[in-house]
Amino acid sequence: MMFEINLTILFASVVAGAATIVLAAVGETITEKAGLINLSLDGSILLSAMAAFAVAFETNSLTMGFVCGAINGALVAATVAVFSIYLRQNQVAVGFVLTLMTRDLAYFIGNPYSRLQGPQVSPLPIPLLGEIPFLGDIFFNHNLPVYLSLFLIALCWWYIYHTPHGLKLRSVGEHPRASYARGINPQKLQLLYAVCGGLLVGLAGATFSLATKPGWGRPQGAEGTGWIALALVIFGGWHPVKAAAGAYLFSLLQVLGIYFQEWLPSVPSQVFQVAPFPLMIFTLVVMSFAQKESVLLWAEGKGRIKSLLAFFSGMAPSALGKPYRPD
Digit-coded pLDDT (tens) for 24-81: 999 999 999 999 999 999 999 999 999 999 999 999 999 999 999 999 999 999 999 9
Among 118, 103, 111, CA closest to 55: 118
The residues of the chain scoring below 50 in pLDDT are: 1-5
Answer whether 201's CB lies under 8 Å from 45's CB: yes
Three-state secondary structure call for residue 170: helix
Q: What are phi and psi of 64, to 5 degrees?
A: -65, -35
Alpha helices by DSSP H, listed for the chain, are 2-17, 19-33, 41-59, 62-81, 91-109, 135-139, 144-162, 164-174, 176-181, 186-207, 225-235, 240-263, 269-274, 276-290, 293-299, 303-312
| Residue 225 DSSP symbol | H
Q: Residue 147 has what pLDDT?
A: 95
The dihedral region occupied by 239, where left means phi > 0, alpha psi between -120 and 50, and beta the remainder, is beta
pTM value is 0.90
Count of residues making up the chain: 327
Give the Cα-Cα-Cα angle 210, 215, 219 (nearest 5 degrees): 120
Q: If we measure between CA atoms, which residue out of 98, 117, 82, 123 comes closest to residue 48?
A: 98
The DSSP code for 275 is T
Q: What is the pLDDT of residue 272?
A: 64
Nearest to 53 by CA among 202, 198, 227, 197: 202
Determine the pLDDT at residue 2.
Answer: 40
Single-letter amino acid, residue 251: S
Chain centre distance of CA 284: 16
Angle of the 144-162 helix axis to the 186-207 helix axis, nearest 10: 160
Residues 6+ apart with CB under 8 A from 216: 49, 50, 53, 54, 110, 113, 114, 115, 116, 118, 209
- pLDDT recorded at residue 1: 37
Greatest Cα pair distance, the chain, in angstroms, is 68
- For the stretch 107-145, pLDDT in tens is 999 999 998 888 899 989 998 888 888 888 889 999 999
**By three-state DSSP, how is residue 135 classified?**
helix
Residue 221 per-residue DSSP state: S
CB atoms within 10 A of CB 234: 16
Please report the pLDDT score of residue 308 as a whole number.
Answer: 67
For residue 310, the 8-state DSSP code is H
Spatial separation of the C-alpha atoms in residues 257 and 274, rounded to whole Å: 9
* Residues ≥6 apart with Cβ < 8 Å to 96: 39, 40
> 128 Cβ partners below 8 Å, 6+ apart?
none
Amino acid 269: pLDDT: 63
